[in-house]
A and B are shown apart, each in its own frame.
Chain A
Amino acid sequence: MYTPLRIDPTKALGDIATFQRKLAAGMGHLRSMREPEYANTPRELVYSEDKLKVWHFTGHGKTTAKTPLLIVYALVNTVWMTDLQADRSMVRNLLEQGEDVYLIDWGYPDGADRWLTLDDYINGYLDRCVDAVRARHELDAINLLGICQGGAFSLCYTALHADKVKNLITMVTPVDFHTPDNMLSSWCRNMDVDLFVDTMGNIPAGLMNYVYLTLKPVRLNQQKYIGMVDILDNPTELENFLRMERWIFDSPDQAGEAFRQFIKDFYQGNKLVKGTLEIGGRPVDLGMITQPVLNIFAEQDHLVPPDASRALGKHVGTTDYTQLAFKGGHIGIYVSGRAQREVPPAIHQWLRQRG
């Protein structure tokens, strides 16, 4: 009979000593590290309003796409996940494929933005951003790429402004918010969101981050940093790690009213798939989306479970619907090596097939 534990005490002490040695050696690296920069792919400002900016990426390659692609990011976290670092940049890879890429940077809401509603975001800001890009290209319709919550916004927008969207791509986008494996949805189901927003006003980014950490508390709060000790002596890997930390925790507060509506109507009411959602008093019917749709989701997504995204296929009105299941997580779909190889080329190919 064997025991599953065969830990040599001397080796255990050696492991502790090694751990400490790595920490001590890495201290110098950590203290000398500067704030890691994002990829900062060359870009120009083409539209701004309040705290919002629309960036046009210029890049180095030649644009072959006839229709520009506007990326609509979520309100949570910053948009720079799409352009994190030079060798992990979805934006850069899309440019290299020949796409003409625009990006909405929502900015950091403060007290003045407390009363922004989903109507203001979708029928207001987003619509004017789309108009700005359409005007630049003298086009009636452009391509939209919505990410996570931005994907849900893009779905609403396309349903409400069908003539302005030529092709729609959604990435890790929640559609059915009541799948049984959706932890975030389960947690907020019994929340009195009116009391919450009336009391908090804007929702602090720190509080949002806290909730995300508690989805996998040990892994995200401890094991990750223990893994960091192993890369303390590798400046490149350490810089990548710290850059990701910067992105995770440098996040914007949430405008109170928009948060209230999103939790009530999407997370609690699941109105997007029930067909009862209204934005600005106008019904949002996914059946109205008749343009080609590419729906990309991550198979190991702990924030937006794959089934929450897969549901889109049952509800959109288009006859040209494509799903792409990526082997990775909610963040890996943008920054992993596999993502660089697979996702932008798949997006480009899909768009090219549709003119």
Chain B
Amino acid sequence: MADPANDFIRDYQALAQQSWDAWTRQFQQQPAANPFAPPPAPAAGNDTLERTLAGLKGYFDWMQAAAAGGAAQQPTADWRQQLQQMFGGANQPFAQAFGGIDSAGAEGFARQWQSWLQATQHSGFGDLPGTHGPTPAFGLNREQQMQQQALATALLESMQASARYQELIQRANTQGMQRLQDKLAQHAEPGRQIDSLKGLYDLWVDASEEAYAEIALSDEFREVYGEMVNTQMRVRQLQQQQTEQLCQQLGVPTRGEVSSLGERLQALRREFRASRAGAPADRADEIMALRRELTALKRQISSGAAATPAAKKATPAKPPTSAVKKSVSKAPAKVARTAVASKTKLVAASKSRPSPRKRK
């Protein structure tokens, strides 16, 4: 027998989904084609829009699923089970939120590897040599074979590192749910109960971010993050090497050559400036050494003078404004050094400076 309430929710969800899709389409609508218009902006230009829509869509989907699942139950039901229904399975806004930031700006590394892999296979290489373990290479194309093997190995290592990273993200997600339950348990009193999806969502965000921050600051995350970045860079480096070789064969200037020219040019600019300034580096070093000596002497004099009663030296703190009073605090080390015993929160000048040195 049909459940009218659930049917209603399903119908509503379908309608809501249609509305969402229509809204998204309208918002993304491109102006009519104009043959004189400049080329469309690169994908990165729509970064904010993509991210905004992805974030809103994740929230919208979650609200729908939560309304149809956990929220539709009677309040007397087991709330932990209710929570699982609202956040379980595919209803994980965290995963969507995190996945959504793999934008064009972030270069979409995974997509790039796949494209590279496909392009290599389509060009007749078949399976990349090395994906099934390194094999000895020989003959005229030995170097190319070795490079392909190195790339395949790097790709595998990179994917393994990414998988480890994703495991940690998933762990943050799981621990976030646990934290959410802990937080909710503190709301089981009349007047403190969560009575809206938005309220529940905000609490979940707090819990998820706390769990994520704890993991993201861990030594394990540091190690995995470093490995992920390094392996990705290794893949990119090998891709660039192959591209450079191809360009060289085709007579196309390469990025490496341009970069090399840039390095030389910058070195020349430095030399030119230095020679124009007429101040050789050893003179600068000499000046710096003299300055250090002067500072050391000043410190000696200062510490000698500090032996005199502090009260005579210290300038009383000028009464600060209320705003400053609230937020200015002392630096303990300096207080000790200058023997200023003021209880105000503003650390006042303890040593006057000479007036500005005018040239004229």
Contact = CB atoms under 8 A, between A and B. Distances in A.
Interface in B74-95: 75-77, 79, 82-83, 93-94
Contacts of A217: 94, 97-98, 101, 209, 212
B47 A206 contact: yes
B234 interface: yes
Interface stretch (A55-63, A75-83, A320-328): A320-328
A114 B269 CA distance: 14
Interface residues of A, number: 109
B237 A199 contact: yes
A66 B98 CA distance: 51
Contact of A323 (B27, B67, B328): B328
A1 B63 CA distance: 27
Given A4-B79, A281-B281, A320-B353, A24 B23 contact: yes
B169 to A, nearest CB: 9
Most buried by B among A6, A221, A345: A221
Interface in A129-172: 138-141, 160, 162, 166
B106 A222 contact: no
A229 B188 contact: no
B59 A66 contact: no
A255 B351 CA distance: 40
B225 A187 contact: yes
B115 interface: no
B126 interface: no
Given A12-B66, A186-B217, A191-B226, A325 B79 contact: no
A319 B359 CA distance: 26
A138 B360 contact: yes
Nearest to B333: A314
A288 B209 contact: no
A349 interface: yes
A201 B107 contact: no
Interface in B45-66: 47-48, 51-52, 54-56, 58-60, 63-64, 66
A77 to B, nearest CB: 14
A111 B254 CA distance: 13
A210 B82 CA distance: 34
Interface in A45-91: 66-67
Contacts of A199: 233, 236-237, 240
Contact of B333 (A138, A166, A313): A313
A217 B95 CA distance: 10
B351 A320 contact: yes
Contacts of B298: 290
B23 A196 contact: no
Nearest to A167: B353
Nearest to B83: A5
Contacts of B237: 195, 198-199
B37 interface: no
Interface stretch (A13-21, A36-44, A99-107, A269-277): A13-21
A114 B291 contact: no
B9 A321 contact: no
B233 A3 contact: no
A313 B331 contact: yes
Interface in B305-360: 318, 320-321, 323-324, 326-334, 337-338, 346-351, 353, 355-360
Contact of B356 (A162, A281, A355): A355
Given A112-B262, A287-B295, A345 B321 contact: yes
A140 B196 contact: no
A139 B107 contact: no
B198 A222 contact: no
Given A6-B75, A20-B20, A200-B233, A321 B334 contact: yes
A238 to B, nearest CB: 12
Contact of A218 (B26, B83, B208, B329): B208
A333 to B, nearest CB: 11
A288 B197 contact: no
A282 B289 CA distance: 10
A353 B353 CA distance: 11
B46 to A, nearest CB: 11
Given A7-B197, A210-B103, A317-B295, A30 B281 contact: no
A265 B221 CA distance: 22
B23 to A, nearest CB: 6
Contact of B27 (A8, A31, A139): A31
Contact of A6 (B58, B195, B299): B195
A219 B209 contact: yes
A6 B19 contact: no
Given A2-B190, A4-B194, A206-B47, A195 B233 contact: yes
Contact of B233 (A9, A20, A192, A323): A192
A226 interface: yes
B142 interface: no
Contacts of B63: 12, 15-16, 19
A209 B262 contact: no
Contacts of A323: 328-331, 347
B114 interface: no
Contact of A249 (B19, B47, B327): B47
A8 B20 CA distance: 23
B163 interface: no
A331 interface: no
Given A217-B97, A323-B328, A111 B27 contact: no
B351 A325 contact: no
Contact of A222 (B67, B93, B302, B346): B93
A245 B59 CA distance: 20
B144 interface: no
A186 B295 contact: no
B52 A317 contact: no
B187 interface: yes
A285 interface: yes
B128 interface: no
Q: Which 8 A-B pairs have the closest CB atoms?
A: A206-B105, A190-B226, A313-B331, A222-B55, A210-B106, A115-B266, A4-B187, A222-B97
12 contacts: A4-B79, A5-B82, A6-B193, A9-B5, A115-B265, A120-B266, A139-B357, A162-B291, A187-B225, A195-B230, A324-B329, A355-B356
